[in-house]
Structure 1
Amino acid sequence: MSGIPNLRDLVLRDTPFANLMNKRIYNVLLIATKYDAFMLEDDGRVDEQIFNEYTALSLRYPPRFTQVTTEEEALNELKSRNFELIICMPNMDNRDIFAAATEIKSQYPNIPIVVLTPFSKEVSKRVANEDLSAIDYVFSWLGNSELLMAIIKLIEDKMNAPDDVASVGVQIIMLVEDSIRFYSSALPHLYKFVLEQSLEFAKEALNPHQQTLRMRGRPKIKLARTYEEAVRIFEQYQNNILGIISDMSFMHTGVKDPYAGYKFGQYVRKTGKIIPFILESSESANEVYARELGASFIDKNSKSYPQDLRKNIMQRFGFGDFVILDPKTKEEIMRIKDLKDLQKKVFQIPDDSLVYHLSRNHFSRFFYSRAMFPPAEFLKNVDVSDYKDMDEARKLIFDLIVQYRRMKNSGVVAIYKKERFDEYSNFARIGDGSLGGKGRGLAFIGAMIKRYPKLEQENFEVNIPKTVVICTDIFDEFMETNELYPVALSDVDDDTILKYFLRASLPSRLIEDLMAFSEVVKGPIAIRSSSLLEDSHYQPFAGIYSTYMIPKHEDKYEMLRSLSDGIKAVYASVFYRDSKAYMTATSNLIDQEKMAVVLQEVVGTQYGDHYYPTISGVARSLNFYPIGNEKAEDGIANIALGLGKYIVDGGLTLRFSPRHPHNILQMSTTDFALRETQTRFYALDLNPENIANKFSVDDAFNLKKLTLKDADADGSLKFITSTYDPYDMIIRDGYYPGGRKILSFVNVLQHDVFPLASTLDQLLQIGQKEMGRPVEIEFAINMNKQDPRKASFFLLQIRPIVDNKEVMNEDLSVIQQKDTILSSTSVLGHGIINDVHDIIYVKTGAFNAANNQLIAYEIEKMNRQFTGTDKNYVLVGPGRWGSSDPWLGIPVKWPHISNAKVIVECGLENYRVDPSQGTHFFQNLTSFGVGYFTINPFKGEGWFDESYLNQMPAIEETEYLRHVQLESPMIIKMDGKRSLGVVMKPQNNTEQ
């Protein structure tokens, strides 16, 4: 079975349709007498007819026609503008029309020139005697605008074929015909057919933009007028020929050869390639040659010629339905309409039929004609004789379709069609408005994941959950038809607003769509707000509106009701008191706010009557509190067991840098691990009775807060914990019976059960590159209960990091020391703080480490005056803050200095201590966004202007401490990326 390509190794790349058909005809120069031009325009203007032809077939860019009557006018036009095509309509009295073409060609050798002439014996004689070397094609013109379109497409195909075939394997249909009259009638039929078919197949695309792009992958048509030209085209494109239509008699070595078509057929058959061949002839006796070649035969004199041609192409070239035949009787067994149909029926195709169709490349042709190149290329290289068992072949085709559909669905915002949304669909929109912030973020992530197939690793897929976005126009419609604005904008309380919204009704066309969606999604559904302002680049709106989760309900009408109530409740949250206050605070107008709603499968596993994911997390591409050898740009992640709400609510999470997953502060000491790791988590209550009619302003009304004991009973801790052994008082990696469980995620971070850290690192890098700014992502992971190495990673959101503190763009290294109270080159934290007036510092003159415990008490007392106010201070002192050893620093605990906004460790000449990043301190610094400066002025590292402060009156002074209050605030600036920080002297005090 060596010859079977392995699907596992196959990464289906999407076809870059946008790069196809890049060379186009935009402007056509028409050289014709006024009379001929008038004839052209008589049945409606030619531009208009062409335009109508184009739009009827969903084609874009119809060309513009410029009409001139003389060679001189033509040359003037050519000087002033670009033309991609010249059409001449010779007036038969005017002997010079061919001479004119020769003259134009000599000056503009690259522009194709086509002659359109009404055909008669007279004309045929003339054409036979003329020098046509300057003319690319001659066509017989009987006033049919479809011919103009065919001419334009034929020339566009000629220009694009080499690139498009080479880049994605676009197919070629070859027409070999030397009778001008005949190809003038066959080409419009052929083009119309191919364009209609590809329009039909393009409907498989997921949105209108993709449909238009898909049309570019249609087969190209090449016209050959001599045996030599036919061989040349065949040689060039033989691996990509969908089918050949050939006349029987045409020029061969300069003379008319009545058997040229038969000879060309033999030449094609000798290559061993299975290519459908249609032989045409005006002499019905030639049918025997067609039979010998295994070709179809069409009589050119038949009255039903266009229908015959159409029928043959339909059957032989892979267009239309795929008819599965019984190879012995050639009777139809079944028909396959489209991809979904093939996926359904592939297992019902009998063995001998499967062998028959596979060995003749019918499957790959089915895909090629529909511009589905990745599966077509794959199947074309499969040799049936490699299979011992046809079930393998069926499975291969099935898996190929599944993989292709997954690939097509990922990263695309499809238009939601209830009959088409199924388990391979990923992201769809209902409505024409905006997707809102979250929706846009999700659509962006989907597209991003698709561009980086390397993110997928074996057993660890990266994706977004099944998502449908209800766009903002539905919100508008809901608000207006139910006349909700008066209540919504009034001052009534939140519960009243919610009551009114729940009573209102959603647009009726939404109901069937919601019904269909809830049937496809097998688990609980999250209903998230996705407002226009949320996640907008410059405003932190995250977490202002509600997210409800609803369990899966067996009764589909109950399910529909919960889903509708959830959507209305999210709509209502726009108008809650907090939202209105936030709007005012950020100077936004509430009536500009529009809400889209994201419906999303909840990531997780069911355990009894509750549901939660193994891991939820948030990661940022910039870490302003790097420790040890981490750098700011290495990023930072926080992960927890259970639903992500726990993280948003500020619960204890495990914090690590994706590039340093072994370096986990919280696991650095036993004491710290026992105290600073997660002990509770959120899960969704699956009992449907607990949700009926209970929608509340609090979106967590149906979440349970559980303990690790509950998780242990669920069996979900097995691969993510360490165990504390109380006898030896140590923490052992892994899950052991007895002993307290500690959420260390050790198997994932240290032993790489699945590549979480490296995937996060890649995603943060890619996200930052694609968004052009630092990003924050939210994610959830589902671990397979049976096999922990199998896990699925779901991205839930991506947004630019917006720091509530102003974004720091200033270069702090150029600030002069004399303008600062403090400056440091070793700083944790980021942003600008401009509302701190107070500074408390340990007097260096009187410092003695023996007094450190006393100093700690004094600081605790001073901090008490700040608690309960929203005022903060800068705290400066020698040695390590919060050290448990009083000889190394002042042994304060976090609550004793809780109002400090910046903490400074200042080394002294006779008291040098390495800077600490005391664990508890560190945890709190990061959660409260406190700045941390380390300075050693005696070594020239940083600076502290104590004498400046000593000159000021103290609010309070003790033996060891001074508390000074400045009239104007100190401006504190921290650049976390470069680890620089300054505390500026107030402007009006710098003169002192």
Structure 2
Amino acid sequence: MKNNISYIGIGSPGGKGAGLIRIQSLIDELYPEDRSSSINLIIPEMTIILSDVFGQFISENNLSLEQVKDKTDEEISRLFQQSSFPPLLVGELRKISNRISEPLAVRSSSFTEDSLNKPLAGLFATKMIPNNSPDPNIRFMQLINAVKFVYSSTWFSSSRDSFQAAGFDLSTEMMSVIIQRVHGQKHGQFFLPAFSGVGRSFNYYPFGGSAQESGIIELAAGLGKTIVDGGRKWLFCPENPGTPPPASMKAMLDSGQTHLWTIDLKPPEKESPLDEDEFLTKKTIKLLEEDEIIRFLCSTYSPESDRLEMGFQKNGFKLIDFSPILKGGLFGFNNCMSHLLKDFSSKINEEIEIEFAVNINLESEELDLALLQIRPMKKLNSAGTPSISSIDHKKIIVSSNNALGNLFLENIIDFVYILPSVFSARNTAEMPLEIERINRTLISEGRSYVLCGFGRWGSSDPALGIPVKWSQISGARVIIESTLPDMNPDLSQGSHFFHNILNTETAYLSIDNRGMTKESFIDFEYLEKQCIIFREKYFTHVRLNNEIKIIVDGKKSEGVIYYE
């Protein structure tokens, strides 16, 4: 593969930069020849401004953290915009703007963003610019402003707070910046890829009979901002690409992607160099119908048959589920992604995450698959996280040997539960409104909480569980399902809210009360001794005397809630 990476200055390339350099070497080593005639692997051309340039910029403009500690983010950004770049950087940016006249992504690259022990991914800014003016001076100023904005995000309040919480010294942070061609195509006045995605080599929330080791991939039409912002996306396991996440037809249609992010190539009415999304705009999916790209990305719902038909049909609701590519096997995309995840993970000897964007060439019916980032997946065994086996069993409140997720949580003191003695399968239809009130109160107070109930949360059949909607329990950070003699269905393992649990990384613990064991139990006696905030007809809300800690080890399917 052609080396598309150049550098400005000296120093470190940062986490994203190092990841892209690693991708280049991995592709050259693992795939010396094209893997598929239908897929072209690409690393978009980029220039990395190395870390010492940031230090020089700070020094020459007499900037300091002390100087900005009481300033707003907007004031910090304005201060950086008014500062001057070193002559070397100005000259190199001028060369880029003279040579390239299509959209660019200006991305932060900090090693702390991809730290294995204390990850701060997504903390700093990325700014996309149209860079399409016929006047190179306008392109140059757009690029200058974008780099300064990304630099300024290093000292934003969220950065200062996050570094302090993680035990990092922000004054030592020397930001690198990546200037990279945006992988996309023109659609009228808008620029975007056909779709973007994130692939992970390990899946902490498996469904459809897939193994955790087969990984998980998220896809969304348009720019990857939809996924980054937690928007509507499609999830699939490479092992079973045609199997949708467990949800009813109505739930799939209601949660389907309806809008996508694009770069607006038309000059804005007013320049906003302090706005990260200055040149981005949100459009409906119909934008892709204008040049038939959508026929590769959707199924069409027929209300008459209550079925999804693969591909684009003139009449009917379009669900962006990528079925022609995933179920129909077009381009060999799933096979390619599966190999990339397994091969890269094996070579690095880590579970990994890959960001990518895809263009579809309608004439040749080929995919251009651009690899944008590779990073280690977030690990549970971060510094300071105890192993579950080391915890004093007497201090465990909840234990499960059937858990989904991968997290370590602290600082939660609110626990909402229903006692076995007051639960009745005959009354489950009355319970959603009660928990909704509690949920709304805790959200308004900014309090995450643990929620425990019996049977299946969200079951459409009240005889099988509590028929809540996701919005009625959305503040819960941990959801527990348990059994009782008269409420004893096969537990859902999160299936009824699976897409919500996945998207919000909510922990799920399943507990079989039919045979309480050391590995599976709830200590209601302990909960009843805590400070009761209120007790309604069914649910009790307690505020614990001790902060609890929550560990979910998805690889072992184990989870515990305990106090120290």
> Fold-level match, TM-score > 0.5?
yes
Q: Provide the C-alpha distance between the structure 1 equivalents of 2:476 and 2:78, rounded to a whole number of angstroms.
A: 44
Residues 265-290 of structure 1: per-residue CA shift (max 9 Å, x gap):
xxxxxxxxxxxxxxxxxxxxxxxxxx
Q: CA deviation at 1:706?
A: 0.5
Q: Provide the C-alpha distance between the structure 2 equivalents of 1:432 and 1:953, rounded to a whole number of angstroms.
A: 58
Q: Which residue in the other structure is 1:718 paired with?
A: 295
Q: Does 1:757 align with 2:334?
A: yes
Residues 783-804 of structure 1: per-residue CA shift (max 9 Å, x gap):
113243x001111111222359
The one of the two structures with greater contact order (alpha-carbon pairs below 8 A, sep at least 6) is 2
Tell me the SS of whatever aligns to 2:466. Answer: coil
Q: Alpha carbons of 1:582 and 1:820: their partners in 2 closer, same or farther (altered >3 Å)?
A: closer
Q: Which residue in the other structure is 1:447 paired with?
A: 25
Native 8 Å contact 2:380 2:406 kept in 1: no
Structure ranking higher in strand proportion: 2
Which segment is superposed worse, 722-731 or 637-646?
Answer: 722-731
From 360, 375, 393, the equivalent of 1:783 is 360
Which amino acid letter does the alignment assign opposite residue 718 of structure 1? R
Please provide the CA RMSD for this pair: 2.8
Native 8 Å contact 2:101 2:133 kept in 1: no
Q: Provide the C-alpha distance between the structure 1 equivalents of 2:66 and 2:206, rounded to a whole number of angstroms.
A: 49
Give matches, 1:31-430, under 5 Å. 407=1, 409-410=2-3, 426-430=4-8
Q: Alpha carbons of 1:878 and 1:659: their partners in 2 closer, same or farther (altered >3 Å)?
A: same
Q: Does 1:833 align with 2:419?
A: no
Q: CA deviation at 1:675?
A: 0.6
From 836, 840, 844, the equivalent of 2:420 is 844
Q: Does 1:544 align with 2:123?
A: yes
Q: CA deviation at 1:946?
A: 3.5
Q: Alpha carbons of 1:945 and 1:586: their partners in 2 closer, same or farther (altered >3 Å)?
A: closer
Residues 333-375 of structure 1: per-residue CA shift (max 9 Å, x gap):
xxxxxxxxxxxxxxxxxxxxxxxxxxxxxxxxxxxxxxxxxxx
Q: Which residue in the other structure is 1:728 paired with?
A: 305
Tell me the SS of whatever aligns to 2:294. Answer: coil
Q: Provide the C-alpha distance between the structure 2 equivalents of 1:843 and 1:450, rounded to a whole number of angstroms.
A: 59
Q: Which residue in the other structure is 2:220 paired with?
A: 640
Q: Does 1:535 align with 2:94?
A: no
Q: Does 1:968 align with 2:540?
A: no
Q: CA deviation at 1:885?
A: 1.1
Residues 66-95 of structure 1: per-residue CA shift (max 9 Å, x gap):
xxxxxxxxxxxxxxxxxxxxxxxxxxxxxx
Which amino acid letter does the alignment assign opposite residue 635 of structure 1? G
5+ long unaligned stretches in structure 2:
none
Q: Which residue in the other structure is 2:164 paired with?
A: 584
Q: Alpha carbons of 1:533 and 1:963: their partners in 2 closer, same or farther (altered >3 Å)?
A: closer
From 436, 446, 453, the equivalent of 1:860 is 436
Q: Provide the C-alpha distance between the structure 2 equivalents of 1:893 and 1:642, rounded to a whole number of angstroms.
A: 29
Q: Provide the C-alpha distance between the structure 2 equivalents of 1:490 and 1:939, rounded to a whole number of angstroms.
A: 56
Q: Which residue in the other structure is 2:14 paired with?
A: 436
Which amino acid letter does the alignment assign opposite residue 289 of structure 2? D
Which amino acid letter does the alignment assign opposite residue 579 of structure 1? S
From 903, 914, 928, the equivalent of 2:490 is 914
Residues 352-407 of structure 1: per-residue CA shift (max 9 Å, x gap):
xxxxxxxxxxxxxxxxxxxxxxxxxxxxxxxxxxxxxxxxxxxxxxxxxxxxxxx4
Q: Provide the C-alpha distance between the structure 2 equivalents of 1:677 and 1:671, rounded to a whole number of angstroms.
A: 10
Tell me the SS of whatever aligns to 1:974. Answer: strand
Q: Provide the C-alpha distance between the structure 2 equivalents of 1:673 and 1:501, rounded to a whole number of angstroms.
A: 45
Tell me the SS of whatever aligns to 2:208. Answer: coil
Which amino acid letter does the alignment assign opposite residue 343 of structure 2? I
Which amino acid letter does the alignment assign opposite residue 850 of structure 1? R
Which amino acid letter does the alignment assign opposite residue 827 of structure 1? A
From 193, 211, 217, the equivalent of 1:613 is 193
Count of aligned pairs between the two proteins: 560
Q: Provide the C-alpha distance between the structure 1 equivalents of 2:137 and 2:21, rounded to a whole number of angstroms.
A: 29
Q: Provide the C-alpha distance between the structure 1 equivalents of 2:129 and 2:99, rounded to a whole number of angstroms.
A: 15
Q: Provide the C-alpha distance between the structure 2 equivalents of 1:776 and 1:717, rounded to a whole number of angstroms.
A: 26
Structure ranking higher in helix proportion: 1
Q: Provide the C-alpha distance between the structure 1 equivalents of 2:34 and 2:389, rounded to a whole number of angstroms.
A: 39
Q: Provide the C-alpha distance between the structure 2 equivalents of 1:504 and 1:841, rounded to a whole number of angstroms.
A: 55
Q: Alpha carbons of 1:936 and 1:816: their partners in 2 closer, same or farther (altered >3 Å)?
A: farther
Q: CA deviation at 1:611?
A: 0.2
Q: Does 1:880 align with 2:456?
A: yes
Q: Provide the C-alpha distance between the structure 2 equivalents of 1:810 and 1:908, rounded to a whole number of angstroms.
A: 31
From 130, 137, 141, the equivalent of 1:557 is 137
Q: Alpha carbons of 1:545 and 1:965: their partners in 2 closer, same or farther (altered >3 Å)?
A: closer
Q: Which residue in the other structure is 2:39 paired with?
A: 460
Q: Which residue in the other structure is 2:377 paired with?
A: 801
Native 8 Å contact 1:905 1:935 kept in 2: yes
Q: CA deviation at 1:718?
A: 1.9
Which amino acid letter does the alignment assign opposite residue 245 of structure 2? L
Larger Rg over CA atoms: 1
Q: Alpha carbons of 1:632 and 1:816: their partners in 2 closer, same or farther (altered >3 Å)?
A: farther
Q: Does 1:977 align with 2:555?
A: yes
Q: Which residue in the other structure is 2:150 paired with?
A: 570
Tell me the SS of whatever aligns to 2:209. Answer: coil
Q: Does 1:477 align with 2:56?
A: yes
Residues 178-222 of structure 1: per-residue CA shift (max 9 Å, x gap):
xxxxxxxxxxxxxxxxxxxxxxxxxxxxxxxxxxxxxxxxxxxxx
Q: Does 1:603 align with 2:152?
A: no
Q: CA deviation at 1:837?
A: 2.9
Q: Provide the C-alpha distance between the structure 2 equivalents of 1:582 and 1:821, rounded to a whole number of angstroms.
A: 30
Give matches, 1:642-657, under 5 Å. 642-657=222-237
Tell me the SS of whatever aligns to 2:330. Answer: coil
Q: Which residue in the other structure is 1:889 paired with?
A: 465
Tell me the SS of whatever aligns to 1:709. Answer: helix
Which amino acid letter does the alignment assign opposite residue 49 of structure 2? I
Q: Which residue in the other structure is 2:78 paired with?
A: 499
Q: Alpha carbons of 1:897 and 1:496: their partners in 2 closer, same or farther (altered >3 Å)?
A: closer
Which amino acid letter does the alignment assign opposite residue 690 of structure 1? P
Q: CA deviation at 1:541?
A: 2.6
Native 8 Å contact 1:469 1:597 kept in 2: yes
Which amino acid letter does the alignment assign opposite residue 614 of structure 1? A
Native 8 Å contact 2:47 2:180 kept in 1: yes
Native 8 Å contact 1:615 1:641 kept in 2: yes
| TM-score in terms of structure 2 length | 0.91
Q: Provide the C-alpha distance between the structure 1 equivalents of 2:385 and 2:350, rounded to a whole number of angstroms.
A: 13
Q: CA deviation at 1:524?
A: 1.3
Q: CA deviation at 1:806?
A: 4.8
Q: Provide the C-alpha distance between the structure 2 equivalents of 1:726 and 1:585, rounded to a whole number of angstroms.
A: 51
Native 8 Å contact 2:455 2:465 kept in 1: yes
Which segment is superposed worse, 516-525 or 472-481?
Answer: 516-525
Q: CA deviation at 1:618?
A: 1.5
Q: Provide the C-alpha distance between the structure 2 equivalents of 1:522 and 1:804, rounded to a whole number of angstroms.
A: 44
Native 8 Å contact 2:199 2:355 kept in 1: yes
Q: Provide the C-alpha distance between the structure 1 equivalents of 2:28 and 2:480, rounded to a whole number of angstroms.
A: 46
Q: Which residue in the other structure is 1:60 paired with?
A: none
Q: Which residue in the other structure is 1:704 paired with?
A: 281
Q: Which residue in the other structure is 1:664 paired with?
A: 244
Q: Which residue in the other structure is 1:369 paired with?
A: none
Tell me the SS of whatever aligns to 1:533. Answer: helix
Q: CA deviation at 1:567?
A: 1.8
Tell me the SS of whatever aligns to 2:296. Answer: coil
Residues 489-529 of structure 1: per-residue CA shift (max 9 Å, x gap):
46344334433433444333444543444455463111111
Native 8 Å contact 1:808 1:832 kept in 2: no
Residues 689-742 of structure 1: per-residue CA shift (max 9 Å, x gap):
328x82422211111110112232343312111112244333211011132211
Native 8 Å contact 1:435 1:469 kept in 2: yes
Q: Provide the C-alpha distance between the structure 1 equivalents of 2:106 and 2:529, rounded to a whole number of angstroms.
A: 60
Q: Which residue in the other structure is 1:743 paired with?
A: 320
Q: Alpha carbons of 1:845 and 1:497: their partners in 2 closer, same or farther (altered >3 Å)?
A: closer
Tell me the SS of whatever aligns to 2:463. Answer: coil
Q: Does 1:767 align with 2:352?
A: no
Which amino acid letter does the alignment assign opposite residue 128 of structure 2? M
